[in-house]
Amino acid sequence: MSKKEMLKEIKKEVLGFKESPLYRERVKKVVFPVIGEGNHDGIVMFVGEAPGAREAATGRPFCGSAGKILDQCLQEIGIERKDVYITNILKDRPPKNRDPSPEEIEVYAPFLDRQINIIQPKIIASLGRFSAEYMLKKFYLENKIRSITALHGTPVDAKAEYGVIKILPLLHPAVVVYNRGKKETLMEGFYTLKKLIEKCKK
């Protein structure tokens, strides 16, 4: 099966994922699960927490206010959004944008794990606390878990099933929506990402 077909299969499974505690949210309003989008051969995969209102209304990750910040950061480091893959841990929106629960992370994570093994990114840039913690736990690096402000911008080596990769924990772009002063700190992390990408291309 091609990467496209394997990712399509995940989409099909998520669409029919009635066992999810968040499935009922889909029927209350017209909303869509958000699987992910971007380059299936991308060096970088961004992993956020969960879709927000705009994402659930469109089925696209990071297309609301946090997405605008993410786009600006990518533009500033000269990376095109179409060249990276963007997804979330949860594929459905938690009501009122509350934090994802441990149970929700557990039920949706297998889809993310499969996306990682299909796309095989060399760098996983986690966005926000939940995503950083999930990645560090997934790759048996629990001992590296710190506050997201301490983790932000420091790459960690990890062993994926397909080879050695870098995990780059980043602040969630939404922090800039609420606190414009955090843009500079967020950008520092993106400049580290740029350097990592350049190294991977060598």
Is 49 one of the binding residues for ligand URA (CB under 6 A)? yes
- Contact positions with ligand URA (CB under 6 A) in 142-181: 174
Q: What is the 3-state secondary structure (H, E, C) of the chain?
A: CCHHHHHHHHHHHHHCCCCCCCHHHHHHCCCCCCCCEECCCCCEEEEECCCCHHHHHHCCCCCCHHHHHHHHHHHHCCCCHHHCEEEECCCCCCHHHCCCCHHHHHHHHHHHHHHHHHHCCCEEEEECHHHHHHHHHHCCCHHHCCCHHHHCCCCEEEEECCEEEEEEEECCCHHHHHCHHHHHHHHHHHHHHHHHHHHHHC
In the complex, least distance from residue 174 CB atom to ligand URA, rounded to whole angstroms: 6
In the complex, least distance from residue 158 CB atom to ligand URA, rounded to whole angstroms: 21
Q: How far apart are CA 36 and CA 62, in angstroms?
A: 9
Here the tokens at position 25 are 């949210």
Interface region with ligand URA, contact rule CB under 6 A, candidates 22-30, 57-65, 101-109, 132-140? 57-65
**Closest residue to ligand URA, based on beta-carbon distance:** 48
Among candidate residues 73, 47, 61, the one with its CA nearest the CA of residue 139: 47
In the complex, least distance from residue 61 CB atom to ligand URA, rounded to whole angstroms: 4
- Residue from 7, 36, 55, 73 touching ligand URA (CB under 6 A): that is 55
The site map against ligand URA for 83-122 (x = CB under 6 A) is -----x----------------------------------
- 92 touches 24 (CB < 8 A): no
Interface region with ligand URA, contact rule CB under 6 A, candidates 3-11, 15-23, 47-55, 151-159? 47-55
- Residue from 33, 38, 42, 48 touching ligand URA (CB under 6 A): that is 48
- Residue from 33, 36, 61, 100 touching ligand URA (CB under 6 A): that is 61
Is 66 one of the binding residues for ligand URA (CB under 6 A)? yes
- Residue from 52, 153, 155, 169 touching ligand URA (CB under 6 A): that is 52
Which residues sit at the interface with ligand URA, rule CB under 6 A? Answer: 48-52, 55, 61-62, 64, 66, 88, 127, 174
